[in-house]
Amino acid sequence: MAIHEKSLIEPDHILEHEKLVVDGVDVSGHWNTMILPRTLTDYDDDFEKVIQRYPGGENVHRCWQCGSCTNSCTMYALNVDFNPRYWIYLTRLGLKDEIIKDKDIIWQCVSCNKCTNICPKDVRPEGVMKALAHWLEEEGHTEKKPSTIFDEEFWEQVERTGRIEDSHVLMHFLRKTRQPLMQEWLVDFSKRMLRHLPFAHLFRMGWNFLFRPRTRGWGRTGQVLREWVREQKEAAHG
């Protein structure tokens, strides 16, 4: 019988005779496969707790390894190395180094949530994939994604002024992701705004862009928000 997920076993741990007959019975190939045991010492007992602290990772401990998430996964259908069940298993065992080996594909989850809908234990595998991707990013194993850079810029503006100035967010985002400020779609978008928005609105936008006003009374609110965010980060990182 073929071994499912054979690709996950180190090749030199698989023993298999192409031709083998035992007591007159042909047990060639898969029928005589043996897997050598291995001893793991490089696990992190607390890793599951670390992932549980990220949004989406809270229920990772509930997994009973039924495999429904992987069977239903959109990405698994395209690439059998994309295996949420396996990464959840590694998370529970604390095998960080094994997860790091797949750092270049974990982020490819398309958030279709088929896994979450089918999971019998409410693990929310999609959330676990996001939690792992965030952990990889925060630990410096992968580069910051544009979405993270955008989130940071968005938060920075809220924290500072209590409001969002779209053009500033966009400008800083493009700079930080090393994209040109003058892009065809952006020029086209600006022309449409100039054509269709009332003058008073355009004037206000220009004013806000230049002077970056703060929401009234933001000082104290901003301070409370900053403290709350700091507490959350400290709690998340132990």
Q: Which residues bind ligand SF4 (CB under 6 A)?
A: 63-69, 72-75, 84-85, 88, 109-115, 119-121, 123, 125-126, 129
Instruction: Compute the least distance from the CB of residue 62 to ligand SF4, in Å.
Output: 7
Whether residue 72 contacts residue 21, with contact meaning beta carbons closer than 8 Å, is answered with: no
Instruction: Compute the least distance from the CB of residue 121 to ligand SF4, in Å.
Output: 4
Instruction: Compute the least distance from the CB of residue 170 to ligand SF4, in Å.
Output: 28
Q: What is the 3-state secondary structure (H, E, C) of 96-164?
A: HHHHHHCHHHHCCCCCCCHHHHHCCCCCCHHHHHHHHHHHHHHCCCCCCCHHHHHHHHHHHHHHHHCCC
Instruction: Compute the least distance from the CB of residue 60 to ligand SF4, in Å.
Output: 8
- The smaller minimum CB distance to ligand SF4, of residues 69 and 136, is found at 69
- The smaller minimum CB distance to ligand SF4, of residues 124 and 172, is found at 124
- The smaller minimum CB distance to ligand SF4, of residues 109 and 157, is found at 109
Nearest to 106 by CA among 126, 82, 127: 82
- The smaller minimum CB distance to ligand SF4, of residues 102 and 153, is found at 102
Instruction: Compute the least distance from the CB of residue 28 to ligand SF4, in Å.
Output: 33
Angle between helices 125-138 and 84-93 (to 10 degrees): 60
10-26 burial: b if 16+ Cβ within 10 Å, else e: eeeeeeeeeeeeeeeee
- The smaller minimum CB distance to ligand SF4, of residues 111 and 223, is found at 111
Instruction: Compute the least distance from the CB of residue 40 to ligand SF4, in Å.
Output: 20
Nearest to 92 by CA among 116, 125, 134, 120: 125
Instruction: Please state, as a whole number, how many other Cβ atoms lie within 10 Å of the Cβ of residue 88.
Output: 27
- The smaller minimum CB distance to ligand SF4, of residues 45 and 122, is found at 122
